[in-house]
Amino acid sequence: MAWRGQLSKNLKELRILLCQSSPASSATRAFVEKNYQDLKALNPKFPILIRECSGIEPQLWARYDLGVERGIRLEGLSEAQITKALEDLVKAGAATPKA
């Protein structure tokens, strides 16, 4: 899980969008509850933004250098699949051209 410490190196910002109460966002809420503190401890100055909005589809957005963004829909994914999606976004940041 060394990739967890690479958030601030490979990304500029991470945004997690979710609904506070919908069943579609339940795995995303659980992921945030279990992983936010660890991710923030490993990347203390890195912006991890949690955006809650009633009725929104759960999504994960990564912003890279040069304003490049990639988003992933999280509806129907398990916590393990969300973790893998985040890992893939972080690893993709290592291959993104730097400014």
**What tens digit of pLDDT does each residue of 65-95 get?**
988 999 999 999 999 999 999 999 999 988 7
| Helix (H/G/I), strand (E/B), else coil: 11 | coil
How many helices (DSSP H) and strands (DSSP E) are in the chain?
3, 4
CA distances to 19, 29, 32 from 26, rounded to whole Å, are 8, 5, 10
State the pTM of this model: 0.91
Q: Which residue has the tokens 């994914």?
A: 77
Domain spans of the chain, in order of start:
6-95
Architecture of domain 6-95: 3-Layer(aba) Sandwich (3.40)
Q: Is the pLDDT of residue 11 over 80?
A: yes
